[in-house]
Amino acid sequence: MQVHTAPLWLAATNCYVVSGDGGTGVIVDAPPDLPAIEQIVAVAGIVPTALLATHGHIDHIGAAGAVVRRYSMVGYLHPDDEWLARDPAAQLRAMFGMQPDGDYAPPDRYQDLADGQILELAGLSFEVLHTPGHTPGHVCFRVSDEGLLLSGDHLFAGSIGRTDLPGGDYDTLMESMRTKIAPLPPETDVLPGHGPATTIARELAANPFLSPFRT
């Protein structure tokens, strides 16, 4: 498996291009910077076949429509975040006080994600973990064969996702952490939506928000 990434846009959101052994791959999260995403894809040397969105905030789906149209592929999102993702331009104005200056139109439709779903894409098996809290429809993607978790804005190195935005809830996030993330194998590599990579073991040992789950 190969993973190519770069922090993009104002929020330094990690956009990932993940591929198996073949010439295809998937894009995980699409910040509103299509040329930069195209550059990551070019460096990876793959043909993207799907966009996986961890959640509906603009820094993760601002270019979702543009990417889906550019590569003629399908986008996936949990339906509980459809209300967020339907109008990225409105999010841009509300959250950043900015006016749209590019293609912020969402995909015509997203394919729905569901907890426990397995997506067979680009020679890899992505397990969908519904982890609400940061947003109602937030998901993480686990590639168990590779010991990998793409955690979006649920778990960061040394921190967790914020819960003070519309739809966020701290208690819900912590319950998702307890039931879905903390029990994962400690050697699992974690690729978050912002900041550096980490592991489950490292976060259980040192992340103050995960202290209730230490054994």
Residue 101 has pLDDT above 90, yes or no: no
List the alpha helices (DSSP H) in the chain: 34-44, 58-61, 64-71, 82-85, 88-96, 170-176, 200-206
Overall size of the chain counted in residues: 215
**Which CATH number goes with the domain that contains 143?**
3.60.15.10
Give me the domain span that covers residue 78.
Answer: 2-213
- Among 101-105, 119-123, 178-182, 185-189, the range scoring the smallest mean pLDDT is 101-105
φ and ψ of 117, to 5 deg: -65, 145
How much is the average pLDDT of 51-58?
98
Token digits for 200? 């489950």
Interatomic CA distance for residues 58 and 30, integer angstroms: 9
- pLDDT for residue 22: 81
Contact 30, 88 (CB under 8 A): no
Residue 21 has pLDDT above 90, yes or no: no
Number of domains forming the structure of the chain: 1
Residue 53 has pLDDT above 90, yes or no: yes
Residue 136 has pLDDT above 90, yes or no: yes
Q: Given pLDDT bands bounded at 50, 70 and 90, which one contains residue 43?
A: very high
Rama region for 158: left / alpha / beta (φ>0; ψ in -120 to 50; rest): left
